[in-house]
Structure 1
């Protein structure tokens, strides 16, 4: 508006810049509220009226057309500002509901579960996303500490629905199932009952029994990374590959449980393929095993944060898939 006013005063009315004063209320309606739009529209009207009188434009009706253009654009800006404000309020309500849903779906894991210290990390591939298709949970049951990390097929609300079914079934069955095979069967039945069709979830179940035995059950999920107290690391690969949860209708037997040595001072990282399949600009996968030394940090939260930061640095930008990580550390008996 100031530029248009300056040009009009310097060059005169012959260039016909006066109607461009209406750009002020137009942009105000896109960026500000209705009060700001109305005030800028009023200022534009005064500027237009003053320049029309200064340039003596009312005789040829050019001044009147300019005034009407300012009034019309201001009215349209007011409608746009009110509509945008309402939509922003609705979006804020939706985000608040989504954040509450995430707290229910992916509630904070316990910092200490039995003899384990626990840390979790979730990085969404979508900016400002609250929930996604990756899932995790840790439950202290009578049979020992049980954990799950999984990755749901697909994206969006359907993936969230599937994740909610799996987590709900896990939280209930983890306290009752006598072993991981029975626990996995409960999850399968929950998927069949609530989500008909070919929905599937890759997942790994883990159980640390009271006698210190770590048992895993892998449903087509990336093998956990085990880091020993002496710094050596390797993947806990299952004895054979199995189908994901939800695909038992194809007739293949479920996965076989297998034990992994897990002594005091050892730690295990369970993760989704958003970590292992993250690529840099040259297409190189994230080297998780060589980065195991990052987990030697004494504080478990800082250790997992170091891996997350290194993962983002490797990709060099936003992740292309959700990345969930669950780190469990067998703390020494003296609590250090």
Structure 2
């Protein structure tokens, strides 16, 4: 059972548990200690979960309990008993109003979530599970609770020249970062199919981003092209890719020199240089954002990604990537401080 389900179960039984405890305490202590007014706490808790029928039902039970305990405490003819019953009725009515407002907010939130999910399907489309001789899987974990999309981006395109992929990280967060991610992905999807050379893809992508980004905004990104037993990279200031060989050996291919991120072309930055590595049957390529390697545990230690590559041994790449993601969350033992995206490519 998840933590959320346990919390809902506790909130569901809480009004009845509170009223039962108060009733027992009132009977045991008598009217001198004045436990009876606390019965109104039951209807107050009832409005936290469930609908208006449940809240009204709890309010009715609380009212009957007040009448019974009032008779037992001989408060039926005094002003105090009337005030207690009035407080229960008042809290119940307030709970019904709260339920109505909560249901309206839940409906609005559900509408916003459906729009976010539609935006995610447009912005971060599911990558093809099979692309040429590759199997692909992705994982995306947002640092914002309940968010579906953020500033990290990924895409896989099966072009005539080979399978082309991008993983990037937009500076900043929020809707502005999502807008920039959409810009980069749109330019890459078009260029990856049109351009014959990966360098031309990068130049076209760079021009598009430089033209539309303002100020000091930028996007770190890595482009990869897999063809004919080799993978070619272009790195725009992004963390090095992770190559896991069939025998378990781990490599971090580094470029001859790192280029500035996308969007900083106005500073006279040189274009990134191509660099290549073998990519043979049984090998795996993991592209990721810095939200993975910069995730810290309670003692401030970074996530040791290169020491966790054995978690990618599952036959199904999606299962393997989810295993790695769960290990990352256990390392942090709390919410991530940055979005975390991973793209896994396997040579079938």
For the superposition of Structure 1 and Structure 2, which TM-score range results when normalised by the shorter chain? 0.7 to 0.9
Aligned to 1:323: 340
Aligned to 2:207: 189
Q: After TM superposition, give the deviation of residue 69 of structure 1 in Å.
A: 1.2
Change in 2 beyond 3 A, CA 1:265/1:44: closer
What SS does the aligned partner of 1:202 have? strand
How many residues are matched? 330
Q: Which moved more, 1:239-248 or 1:39-48?
A: 39-48
Paired residue for 1:112, among 130, 135, 141?
130
Q: Is 1:78 paired with 2:63?
A: no
Q: After TM superposition, give the deviation of residue 136 of structure 1 in Å.
A: 0.8
Change in 2 beyond 3 A, CA 1:39/1:136: same
Aligned to 2:16: none
What SS does the aligned partner of 2:305 have? coil
Give per-residue Cα distances to partners, 1:79-101, cap 9 Å, x unaligned: 11111122122222222222222
Q: Which moved more, 1:23-32 or 1:289-298?
A: 289-298
Contact 2:244 2:251 in 1 (8 A): yes
Paired residue for 1:256, among 273, 297, 300?
273
**Runs of 5+ in structure 1 lacking a partner?**
332-336
Change in 2 beyond 3 A, CA 1:84/1:306: closer
Change in 2 beyond 3 A, CA 1:48/1:284: closer
Q: Distance in 2 between matches of 1:302 and 1:225?
A: 18
Change in 2 beyond 3 A, CA 1:304/1:20: closer
Q: After TM superposition, give the deviation of residue 65 of structure 1 in Å.
A: 1.4
Q: Which moved more, 1:306-315 or 1:91-100?
A: 306-315
Give per-residue Cα distances to partners, 1:46-83, cap 9 Å, x unaligned: 33234434544354411221122112111111111111
Change in 2 beyond 3 A, CA 1:64/1:284: closer
Paired residue for 1:287, among 265, 289, 304?
304
Paired residue for 1:4, among 4, 22, 45?
22
Q: Which moved more, 1:197-206 or 1:156-165?
A: 156-165
Give the TM-score normalised by structure 2: 0.85
What SS does the aligned partner of 1:214 have? strand
* CA RMSD after TM alignment: 2.5
Contact 1:231 1:296 in 2 (8 A): no
Q: Distance in 2 between matches of 1:25 and 1:97?
A: 35
Give per-residue Cα distances to partners, 1:185-239, cap 9 Å, x unaligned: 3323333454433221110001124x44422110000111123344433111011
What SS does the aligned partner of 1:325 have? strand
Paired residue for 2:54, among 20, 36, 53?
36
Contact 1:28 1:40 in 2 (8 A): yes
Change in 2 beyond 3 A, CA 1:37/1:255: same
Q: Distance in 2 between matches of 1:302 and 1:7?
A: 53
Paired residue for 1:13, among 31, 43, 53?
31
Contact 2:210 2:264 in 1 (8 A): no
Aligned to 1:23: 41
Aligned to 2:11: none
Change in 2 beyond 3 A, CA 1:119/1:11: closer
Aligned to 1:178: 196
Paired residue for 1:88, among 100, 106, 122?
106
Q: After TM superposition, give the deviation of residue 299 of structure 1 in Å.
A: 4.3
Alignment of 1:185-264 (within 5 A): 185-209=203-227, 211-264=228-281
Q: Distance in 1 between matches of 2:29 and 2:298?
A: 53
